[in-house]
Chains A and B, each alone.
Chain A
Amino acid sequence: MRLGSGTFAACCVVIQVLGVALFLRGFFPAPVRSSSRTEHQAEPPAPEPSAGDRSNWTKLPPPLFRKVVIMLIDGLRDDFVFGSKGVKFMPYTTYLVEKGASHSFVAEAKLPTVTMPRIKALMTGSLPGFIDVVRNLNSPALVEDNVITQAKAAGKRIIFYGDETWVKLFPKHFVEYDGTTSFFVSDYTEVDDNVTRHLDKVLKRGDWDVLILHYLGLDHIGHVSGPSSPLIGHKLREMDSILMKIHTSLLSEERETLVPNLLVLCGDHGMSEAGGHGASSVEELNTALILISSAFERKPGDIRRPKHVQQTDLAATLAIGLGLPIPGNSVGSLLFPTVEGRPVREQLRFLHLNAVQLSKLLQENVPSYTKEPGFEQFKMSERLHGNWIRLYLEENNSEVLFNLGAKVRRQYLEALRTLSLSLSRQVAQYDIYSMLVGTVMVLEVLVLLLISIPQALSSKAELEVPLWSPVFSLLFYLVFLVLSALHVIVCTSAESSCYFCGLSWLTAGGVMALISALLCAVVSALAKVFADGRLLRKNPAHPKARWSELDVLILLGTLGHVLSLGASSFVEEEHQTWYFLINTLCLALCHELYRNCFLRDDCEPQPCSHVEQGLVSSEPALSDGNIHCNVSEPHRVSKSPTSLDTLRGYEKWMVLASPWVILTCCRLLRSLNQTGVQWAHRPDLGHWLTSSDHKAELSVLAALSLLMIFVLVQRRCSLTSKVAMALGLLGVYCYRAAIGNVLFPWQRDSKDISKGVIEARFVHVFVLGILFTGTKDLLKSQVIAADFTIKTVGLWEIYSGLVLLAALLFRPHNLPVLVLSLLIQTLMTKFIWKPLRHDAAEITIMHYWFGQAFFYFQGNSNNIATVDVSAGFVGLDTYMEVPAAFLTAFATFAGPVLWASHLVSFLSTETHSGSALSHACFCYALTCSFPVSAYIILVTSLRHHLFIWSVFSPKLLYEGMHVLITAAICVFFTAMDQTNTKS
């Protein structure tokens, strides 16, 4: 089947979108969460089950402890307390563990073993996934149901000293706090003294219920000098003395009040042998957890070995200990030893509460929950529990009651264990199988694209896609059978949940067929390439085309960018890469321009002819590089001297000055928005403008920018859209004035701030109107084949409609970004691309680079936090998901989208060869899909990296979105191309 290269590329990108979506679904498993988290206040606690009779105990049980002190030591590995180090350096703790009134556990943390997710896990009992971060974009505060929020709602007074992360997570929960930043890793005394200095005062006061201390020093020592350093010993001794101080103070208080208190000593994560943390070695996962209270008294000779439990169990235990409802998303089970001393009825009640909460979570997250063994066990134990209550209320024989109670308890514990296990399995793992299937699809498409470079970029811009022959080939059926068999085996033997296995058989079969068809296509294309290669070798007369410096730069830049994605810092500071690349690109263009201008007058034939050859090499190079493409375009070969000769006087000066103007623009934009991580705190123009003191300056700037936008855009529009554009831009200013961003000159103070819905809708109407006019022109150009100008006008109108929408959505201080982008496009078109006659592939990649750079000029970064969510509410009264998502996505990716649509309009206006658009589409698809495919592989191999959640995952989401937008752009390209060939 013959396909145009544009169509082919569009199909490829669409398939790639499917692959990336599947990969993302596997990479970010859906979090286990309860849907009723908002109304948990109203929900009454589950009453005691009873068979027949009504139990009168429907309230929550009272708290077990009066005061709770949580002493969290960052990086407290289990052997620091229970091992030889603990015996040596922590004598008091060892005494408590071995003989005192305490229960000790080895709590296993889950990935990532980094402080913030671990704090969340300790306090919510859930396993925070990455998607949680995306869901609450705006606030770093923890909105999920957790122990601290519950305690605050119950009127408990909480005091916190230690790591600042807590203050960010719980901004309004503490009656008193002192946060310490953990930024300076080399400091390990000050951070802890900051916590300890409050201790004496606080322990004397009695006006608090929960005290949380987070000590950072131990972790810092680990980072600096590792777990075997002598400093660790000193620090442990210090911690031991602090623990003793707290414990004695609590004990002396208990003597007065006679109600037990609870002291929790725990670590958030462990420490690897090298001293770091974040990955999944046993040393990093196992932390110490000790609960100390006079309620846990034991007889002499009662040896309690530290049991292995999950870190998430602490939340449920704390909630029960404080008499609070268990957090809704908790997957942990109650640490039963803590309630062992209570009467049997209370024990069973606690277990029942926990089991009800877990089973509810299971019901909401697993569709086939009735088949889960844990759920069945829970139902059975609930029934038995009811029987026990009836016996108890009838005051039956204590022997029978005791035996039945023990049985119910055993049942409950078993059910809790199973439930908790099956719930945590839902989130804890990467769904490797789905990821693999997605990766295979993406890679096959990439290979197919790479192989077809020479064909697709030939002058015909068509290629033979071997689509039908593989479908009937033996290979296809073989691969299909093998893959299906594999699918069945994997899905039936899989322990953890798997998204791809959850799909219906038909869909899975379709995906398998797609994969095997792609594989066959790749194989046959490869075979063809080899055959061609042999043919070529036989007639070596094939002339070798030379690459110009620009091509080398473009190739190396693309490769270098892809390689840089492997380093977390380069991902954080990706904007620097793009700024650097476009600067270099501008300088290379400048070099080329100057050489063309000056050396031509010089009448030096030799260098000139070489330059010419490099520039307009007319042989289709069978290069293995991914982007280089010497496209033969007939009109270019015919007139060999570039049109620089025809330029005179002022135009020539403009040509010489334009690269410098562009460079200056880029430098200005760079200082408008500081993004990234390392230099994000630097002062920038954007912050200066948005501060309320400079509202007048901002207003002037916004007005000027809107005026400039009109001047730059209107020149190629039809009259109606000119008027619409002017009114629309006026509406944008009115909108910004209405919501109080900018001022009208006659307006002294901004008293009446509205949502500006009417103004924004006014602009929306004009955007739609301009887009509609553009589409109408495009359709007209199809009908009247002769009229070429109508089509260019139509394309330009669509482009200007998008510009207007961007002007509406951009914050006022970002309007200069739009202006300068238009200015650079105009300069490039007039003075660089036209005179130098680059081919479509080069122009496409330059557009792509500039689009990426403008993505960051807007103030975006590879961090989810920089997404401007407010753009989704422009012109909407209430939150509506689809329009809001569309508007936010457009506002975020405005840079790439605008540059791509400029590319379409430029190519169809300036070049008259039919193949330019399809070449452009192909190159665009290739340059976008190359980084994505490489990044998917990188992320898969780095999935246990320390920064996977903080750095690599957000970038993965951005890349996924980028592929989706690329697919849309490529489809648009192809549509334009189709109209082109028809006309």
Chain B
Amino acid sequence: MKDTDIKRLLYTHLLCIFSIILSIFIPSFFLENFSILETHLTWLCICSVFVTAVNLVLYLVVKPNASSKRSSLSYKVARFLKCCIYFLMSCFFFHVIFVLYGAPLIELVLETFLFAVTLSTFTTVPCLCLLGPNIKAWLRVFSRNGVTSIWENSLQITTISSFIGTWLGAFPIPLDWERPWQVWPISCTLGATFGYVAGLVISPLWIYWNRKQLTYKNN
């Protein structure tokens, strides 16, 4: 049933990974002394722009939820605006959570916020692309046995692995190695990126291994 689907999933994910790799190498052609660690904020911006762009393009090209009915332009614009608001809200939400976890409240605000933006691009943007601005659907996908397609399944896996990556990324901060990447929020952003990439790699493989057991309600 879904071998072609899984293949498409794999290709889209490879494209996403490719976009992250590009975001590391392309800027060094245009910007002088660009490096991930030293000009971290620039990289964060570029990376989130790249990932968002690739996600949008893929969404428009692949159209994973093909069942969406025809609708007027105004509806689409409203939906897009709603998505933007959701995205901003998720950025603020993550920012608040980071502060609750102990990020400094006043100093390094820009760093913390950009980190929140990056994490939102890794998690919220795919959700918005796939599910639209619909909280109920999100809650459904992120509870046990709530997924209805391999796209949602992979979404679940990548999102959770980004969160876990971020969570684990905070571990090296208290260590006294005095490395440049232990500074807030570099280790966490790197953790989030690795988590996201790992999720992108793992999810097609996992779905492929478990394709016999996976039965979705709508398929």
Contact = CB atoms under 8 A, between A and B. Distances in A.
A175 B170 CA distance: 48
Interface in A306-358: none
B145 interface: yes
A576 B174 contact: yes
B144 interface: yes
A678 B167 CA distance: 20
A599 B144 contact: no
B100 A667 contact: yes
A881 interface: no
Interface stretch (A106-114, A362-370, A601-609, A899-907): A601-609
Most buried by A among B105, B143, B167, B170: B143
Interface in A582-630: 583-584, 587, 594-595, 598-599, 602, 604, 606-607, 610-611, 614
Contacts of B136: 598, 602
Name the prevailing secondary structure of the A interface residues.
helix
Contact of B139 (A569, A595, A664): A595
Interface residues of B, number: 19
Interface in B140-172: 140, 143-146, 167, 170
Contacts of A573: 174
B73 interface: no
Given A584-B167, A606-B145, A678-B174, A599 B102 contact: no
Contacts of A663: 100
Interface string B95-137: 0010111100100000000000000000000000000000010
Interface string B175-197: 11000000000000000000000
Contacts of B144: 607, 610-611, 614
Contact of A667 (B99, B140, B174, B176): B99
Contacts of B176: 568-569, 572, 678
Nearest to A546: B144
Contact of B145 (A569, A572, A607, A678): A607
A666 B140 contact: no
A579 B102 contact: yes
Contacts of A610: 144-145
B100 A583 contact: yes
B174 A670 contact: no
Nearest to A573: B174
A580 interface: yes
Contacts of A606: 145
A567 interface: yes
A570 interface: yes
Given A569-B176, A678-B176, A670 B102 contact: yes
Contacts of A580: 101-102, 170
B100 A607 contact: no
A683 to B, nearest CB: 11
Contacts, number: 57
Most buried by A among B99, B102, B145, B170: B102
A576 B184 CA distance: 14
A569 B102 contact: no
Contacts of A611: 143-144
A569 B100 CA distance: 22
B102 A667 contact: yes
Contacts of A579: 101-102
A666 B99 CA distance: 11
Contacts of A583: 100-102
Nearest to A606: B145
Contacts of A607: 140, 143-146
Contacts of A671: 105
A583 B170 CA distance: 13
Nearest to A679: B174
Contact of A569 (B143, B170, B174): B174
Given A614-B144, A664-B100, A667-B99, A567 B175 contact: yes
A570 B144 CA distance: 34
Contacts of B140: 599, 602, 604, 607
A568 B101 CA distance: 22
Contacts of A569: 174-176
Contacts of B139: 594-595, 598-599
A939 B207 CA distance: 45
Interface in B15-30: none
Nearest to B105: A671
B167 A666 contact: no
A676 B102 CA distance: 14
A570 B146 contact: no
A595 B141 CA distance: 11
Most buried by A among B136, B140, B167, B174: B174
Nearest to B172: A569
Nearest to A676: B174
Contacts of A594: 139
A688 to B, nearest CB: 14
Contacts of A599: 139-140, 143
Interface in A665-693: 666-667, 670-671, 676, 678
A572 B140 CA distance: 42
Interface string B26-47: 0000000000000000000000
A570 B176 CA distance: 9
Nearest to B97: A587
Interface string A551-578: 0000000000000000111101100100
B153 to A, nearest CB: 15
A684 to B, nearest CB: 12
A922 B36 CA distance: 50
B81 to A, nearest CB: 25
A856 to B, nearest CB: 12
Interface string A124-157: 0000000000000000000000000000000000
Contacts of B173: 576
Nearest to B217: A606
Nearest to A602: B136
B143 A595 contact: yes
A611 B145 CA distance: 10
A971 to B, nearest CB: 35
A854 to B, nearest CB: 16
A570 B145 contact: no
Nearest to A568: B176
A296 B47 CA distance: 73
B147 to A, nearest CB: 10
A429 B58 CA distance: 68
A92 to B, nearest CB: 38
Interface string A63-86: 000000000000000000000000
A679 to B, nearest CB: 9
A96 to B, nearest CB: 40
A272 B139 CA distance: 58
* Closest 8 pairs (CB-CB, A-B): A573-B174, A569-B175, A569-B176, A663-B100, A610-B144, A607-B143, A667-B100, A576-B174
14 contacts: A567-B175, A572-B174, A576-B173, A576-B174, A580-B101, A583-B102, A599-B140, A604-B140, A607-B143, A614-B144, A664-B100, A667-B100, A676-B174, A678-B176
Given A576-B102, A610-B144, A611-B144, 18 more contacts: A567-B175, A569-B174, A569-B175, A576-B173, A583-B100, A584-B167, A594-B139, A595-B139, A598-B136, A599-B140, A599-B143, A602-B140, A604-B140, A607-B140, A607-B145, A664-B100, A670-B102, A671-B105
